[in-house]
Structure 1
């Protein structure tokens, strides 16, 4: 029996004439002689990498080119490749001899030599040496008319690069021209109102809420579609195929965002709708225009979705139903883990996953498919062996039938998860990598990845400009190239094998992907590697149980609910790790954005790796560095206070820097603070409270319901003990009122109303509510007759106003009161308490709308203004700052001075800056 057959049969291979070659392969692989599949290690096979990279780069550049230019580039590449091929064939031909080296068995580059070298057959070592000497002698005897083998390899590689670049140029040129052709781009440039017949190509999704000034941007449904027929204002109809992004305004009166009929549309549905076309915001996009549908227009369905999409929609809906009764995080996360359905992911949870670099778990990735296929095939290294495992061999299914089942499962995966580019990328990468693993030869993994990249870029050139595609390829490449070497290095230093593999995989993926993430977010996560390690073991059970619930939901919903309940435990663990990692004060570091910042981070990563190799030999130094890193991430308040001076000892009031909004904290004891307003961003107010060391909040006062004061409420509630929430009785705007109630109910925090005359105390802190009055009533004017107190004219004039006393200091917080409200306050019974306060929180971010009489009455020693840098409103107004300074007040503002903390007792008063 040949050595290869003996090895495949699991028998022992005896030392023979070619044993030295096989032993050399074992030595290079780092495995002991006799290990299964000894040829799986060795030098990386990079032959397909240059063609794949050439196709990638060419596609990214050629998408904006005209078809003529793309065809011209392809022709030039073809001619050059043909020239290289012709030169190579002439170089192979020997004058006077009709045989080329490829036809001479055992000659350099011939099939015999290549085969013997690859297989390590008998005499391989000797023939390699003898062949080398003979080839050298023959070359010298014939005047070096045989070109060296390296030259042939270089010419073949260059020819492949040129051919792939030419093919990518043609594909990208055609795809780019397809977007630009037809009437839609021209109509979009003219902002024309059209009636279009479009086919839905993606799942509709709601936009994430964004704070703009004092309001949240209106909800809208985003739908990718392909316009098949368009009618302009003149009534003429034109058939076309133009991809567009449809933005559909949500009618608040029709059940709110979740009740929009657009959210129920399935891909492949054809609808007829009227809207206004506009150009895409960014040039070079894969859409011909944006179709804006206003006034809550309902879609008119022209053609029902395909049978496959109806089945996929039924499965996805069944999974959502099966997860309805789960805890909030698991209910939101499980559909995202299984089929990429992120519709239930809250902005807060989404931000937590981004902060910890776990966002890849929310999107469909190749790992999802790999987990399911591994369940079918068993361990990949045993897929072609007699002792293979998995469900298929246990059911008596042959390997060929198993491969067909895997292909069918992959196709079903694409249909259920939608054939978006990201899903196609995940399916291709997951399938080819697993099939390459199934061969038992790791050297085939890198060529498999390069092949996947090449085919995907040729199929969909727009992927060449996708950051998601780049991150996916980098992560997979890191796992195939860098991770095995790092794992081996860790094992040599005594790290357990499984832990070494996990550490190497997470570290390698982070090292290669972090520069690209920095381009997108201008931030580097310091907790990404530990967070990815902690969630790794939970991803597989959550995915497998989630897929089982997906399949069983249409036929046995109780079983699906039970499976979903089981999956909720690992899913909840993943969400908990994301939240905990994002909550760490030093979990992320701001980093320069753009490709310059990416290059800087790549250099810093390389330096860290080189330094880390030296550290591995010094355990005590590793421990010191680890402790320092933990302290930098956790940032214990006592240590932070010593190093940074923030927060200052004995602080009484802190104004957080939350951008264009308000968030104030009143010290009420060790780790305790009363929060007045929450700002527009949960992450910013949460960061402020953590740096202040606030873990307990007896009361949150929301002065009014504008978004720049309440949208950050989830950040206040995150991980803290909150006693109650008090708000104004003027409940407008309704959407933000409902938001506050929903957030409070989710965490079981009671909500009450603050009215004038109410007094409270927390520790050494006490405060009194001065405004708004419970109802309109007469009130005494200072030194004059009684006058009616008007009803508030809007949310600003209904702001809760507090007079705070702490350590002998009197502090007045005006919310967003405007001149009518300020004048009414000055005429109210509380006017006698306003004179000569120590600290004034200036109303409405220091806008020009201030009552000079109230400023003169209050006459503060210190005026604090909360506003955002470069805000579009011009806050604070120069006139307001001048009036305050004219009254003798020192004026500080968060847009220039950052977070501010007031320190003082009695007459002493000073301010610290973060």
Structure 2
């Protein structure tokens, strides 16, 4: 017994052997990554760091030939081993690599020309597809030449350019830019400069004049790949309504810019943002679900292979950029490590991949996505197996063996895998985002089971639509319930009181202490048991499950169709589109009329997607009642998703850039456009009419009538129109009044409001209006009226049967029914 205990006692020699033979890459990689941090803190010449690395390499070789253990006594003989000196070599090489990555802004680098007080002419080509946003488009340009006024000079480097949102560009397109080049900004809360520097971008141009040049740059393969991605993106918006289409575009293609800020915040607050942010967190969880799903039919090994193929296909589908490749590698590593059941191998490989990626770009170490990917994968490697084994032991104590194992397996897949990944990412989330989601541990188990169907069936719908669109539409109908379920669950948990803790500034020392304590506890644990897998499922269970899934899909589709069936009421919804007007009218028989729409594509598309039938996504009428930029900027792109049968137009078509683009789009598509005239009445059916009370270069004043219900919409009202209408006397009392120009006092005089004597007043304004709207004078005038505001209430929906009206809002309980005078 004594001899056995002696054999099991870890001696310094055995500990050293374990460190150097079982986890060599892990320690070498950690030293290299620490060297990158050291290089960022201590600014020495690259040759100093290389010289130190060479010295320690020679010492390591010498200590191998002449072991120091023969000259030194413990513990020095244990510490001063060849492997210790090799770690110092890695440390100094990491510092040297960081110094090498620091850019040299000479006359051949485009950043040399930053912050000049004159315009530059820059020639280059797009190295990525354009990133379309609501109010601008981001272009990433590889510079070839720069002209400061004395002719073209050779230059290199990447710049970020902001262009007009309604201009279209393609990857590889050669362009010429005119504008001032700036250093990206930074402040105490966020350094846009560091964020772009991690992507090797050190220059920034806003308000650029852009000329497209003949010829192309870039890579032929990438050009084809990005064309495929753009076609897939367009088809997603044809197949699905918003916000489901925008969520799928984020999940399948990595393009999440179509999601409204409110919905993005809901995902963040519930700890489910990994669903739309392509990170190691997302891919690790999905990979685990993939292998479980495929293994049930093909066995563990073939299931893992198919899961890897699925991850690779997904990586190509979303464009295959560096961030996605990083996440795919991390996710695949976690999957592979769990398959072979060797944590040591996984840790070695995980750190080695981190080393390779930081060798390519040392600034990855400060990238939030890289940190989340790394630590989420680390959490799965370290804790997935122990958590699952523990759950299995507890559950099987109280349930029959077969039932207990199945229950434990499901609990592990949908709860414990998430917990394992979140445990190691909590400090990163707290440090970077100053918040911790308490509901994430509950929300994720509800959401994750639907994600394989979202990705697989949704992706299949897109692929089939590229071959034959009707076939893709059928698959989209099957995928849609899973996508809408995801959104509704996120929105439901986002409304849980105190579901998110906002921390404020979070010290990096807390992050370090957390990981130190967690890893000390982890590696101090006595042992880990092997992963227990249940092989296969009974055919009957699979069959019953398939039938249940089909029934649920059918019920949800029927529910969606039923929700779109007209209810016999007239619905007028004032959409929350900022400091502009967007009014959606749904007639008793189901016709859809949109009046203007604001400047936010994401907001308008989201509103329409929630209110227009998925099976008939079009507008019966578009009414352009004002042509200012902020009133119509969203329309050119949204109409591609919700085309109108006809357009009623009021106002100068050349009044703004977006009105010109909109006019060109309508002409190109052959959509009939009717010019408004005074007293023109548009028959909406079912007795509802939309009458043009006044019209002019600025737009139109509209009156919606249905029975005794009257709503006045002065979207394009001018001072001349006010006088023409006798400051409301010619109109008479109305049920609902929309305040003109977001509450601008001159457009809403006291006589106008009191002559109209509305039962209800609606104000459409942004929560942080840059012009300070609404005016205090206007608020004083309407203080005795029932007022609803989009900046406080969100969307405002008024329903009426012509005799009564009901009001429902996004952020307040509905009011009681009101008799229409």
Same fold (TM over 0.5): yes
Report if the CA contact (8 A) 1:487-1:501 is conserved: yes
The C-alpha deviation readout for 1:93-148, integer Å capped at 9, x for no partner, is 356xxxx9xxxxxxxxxxxxxxxxxxxxxxxxxxxxxxxxxxxxxxxxxxxx4339
* Alpha-carbon distance, 1:572 to partner: 7.2
Q: TM-score with structure 1 length normalisation?
A: 0.56
2:545 corresponding residue in structure 1 = none
Is 1:297 the counterpart of 2:211? The answer is yes
Report if the CA contact (8 A) 2:235-2:465 is conserved: no
1:846 corresponding residue in structure 2 = 743
Q: 1:586 aligns with which of 470, 492, 495?
A: 492
Q: 1:472 aligns with which of 358, 373, 382?
A: 373
Separation in structure 1 between the aligned mates of residue 736 and residue 317 of structure 2, nearest angstrom = 60
Is 1:187 the counterpart of 2:113? The answer is yes
Q: 1:242 aligns with which of 151, 154, 157?
A: 157
* Alpha-carbon distance, 1:771 to partner: 3.2
Is 1:771 the counterpart of 2:692? The answer is yes
Structure 2: stretches of 5+ with no match in the other structure:
9-20, 186-191, 396-403, 518-555, 557-568, 813-821
The C-alpha deviation readout for 1:597-645, integer Å capped at 9, x for no partner, is 89999999x9xxxxxxxxxxxxxxxxxxxxxxxxxxx9xxxxxxxxxxx
1:347 corresponding residue in structure 2 = 258
Structure 1: stretches of 5+ with no match in the other structure:
1-16, 23-43, 101-144, 211-216, 394-402, 550-558, 607-633, 635-649, 774-790
Separation in structure 1 between the aligned mates of residue 602 and residue 481 of structure 2, nearest angstrom = 16
Q: Secondary structure at the match of 1:298?
A: strand
2:44 corresponding residue in structure 1 = 68
Report if the CA contact (8 A) 1:813-1:841 is conserved: yes
1:106 corresponding residue in structure 2 = none
Separation in structure 1 between the aligned mates of residue 807 and residue 334 of structure 2, nearest angstrom = 63
RMSD in angstroms over aligned alpha carbons?
Answer: 7.0
Q: 2:74 aligns with which of 128, 138, 146?
A: 146
1:485 corresponding residue in structure 2 = 386
Q: 1:72 to 1:755 in 2, by over 3 A?
A: farther
2:132 corresponding residue in structure 1 = 207
Counting only pairs closer than 5 Å after superposition, residues 539-550 of structure 1 correspond to structure 2 as 539=455
2:767 corresponding residue in structure 1 = 869
Is 1:822 the counterpart of 2:722? The answer is yes
Q: 1:197 to 1:760 in 2, by over 3 A?
A: closer
Counting only pairs closer than 5 Å after superposition, residues 167-566 of structure 1 correspond to structure 2 as 167-178=93-104, 182=108, 184-196=110-122, 198=124, 202-210=127-135, 217=136, 220=137, 222-225=139-142, 227-235=143-151, 237=153, 239-247=154-162, 257=168, 260=169, 263-265=170-172, 276-281=180-185, 282-284=192-194, 285-286=196-197, 287-291=201-205, 294-301=208-215, 305=218, 309-314=219-224, 317=227, 328-329=238-239, 342=253, 347-348=258-259, 357=272, 363=278, 420-426=321-327, 428-429=329-330, 441-492=342-393, 493=395, 494-496=404-406, 499-503=410-414, 504-509=416-421, 512-513=424-425, 519=432, 527-536=443-452, 539=455
Separation in structure 2 between the aligned mates of residue 586 and residue 714 of structure 1, nearest angstrom = 32
Is 1:660 the counterpart of 2:584? The answer is no
Report if the CA contact (8 A) 2:701-2:715 is conserved: yes
* Alpha-carbon distance, 1:847 to partner: 0.8
Q: 1:160 to 1:692 in 2, by over 3 A?
A: farther
Q: Secondary structure at the match of 1:473?
A: helix
Report if the CA contact (8 A) 1:52-1:450 is conserved: yes
Report if the CA contact (8 A) 1:867-1:895 is conserved: yes
2:551 corresponding residue in structure 1 = none
The C-alpha deviation readout for 1:72-94, integer Å capped at 9, x for no partner, is 78888999999999999999635
Q: Secondary structure at the match of 1:299?
A: strand
Separation in structure 1 between the aligned mates of residue 465 and residue 713 of structure 2, nearest angstrom = 53
Q: Secondary structure at the match of 1:444?
A: helix
Q: 2:776 aligns with which of 878, 898, 901?
A: 878
* Alpha-carbon distance, 1:473 to partner: 1.6
* Alpha-carbon distance, 1:512 to partner: 4.9
Q: 1:462 to 1:531 in 2, by over 3 A?
A: same
The total of aligned residue pairs comes to: 689
Q: 1:337 to 1:91 in 2, by over 3 A?
A: farther
The C-alpha deviation readout for 1:353-390, integer Å capped at 9, x for no partner, is 88654766785979599989x99xx98xx99xxx9769
Q: 1:531 to 1:891 in 2, by over 3 A?
A: closer
Q: 1:166 to 1:843 in 2, by over 3 A?
A: same
The C-alpha deviation readout for 1:291-343, integer Å capped at 9, x for no partner, is 56944412354x865xxx32454466568779988883489999999999949
Separation in structure 1 between the aligned mates of residue 571 and residue 241 of structure 2, nearest angstrom = 41
Q: 1:730 to 1:691 in 2, by over 3 A?
A: closer
Separation in structure 2 between the aligned mates of residue 856 and residue 560 of structure 1, nearest angstrom = 55
Q: Secondary structure at the match of 2:211?
A: coil
Separation in structure 2 between the aligned mates of residue 444 and residue 772 of structure 1, nearest angstrom = 76
Separation in structure 2 between the aligned mates of residue 667 and residue 389 of structure 1, nearest angstrom = 52
* Alpha-carbon distance, 1:486 to partner: 3.0
* Alpha-carbon distance, 1:729 to partner: 4.3
* Alpha-carbon distance, 1:68 to partner: 3.2
Separation in structure 2 between the aligned mates of residue 392 and residue 322 of structure 1, nearest angstrom = 26
Separation in structure 1 between the aligned mates of residue 82 and residue 718 of structure 2, nearest angstrom = 76
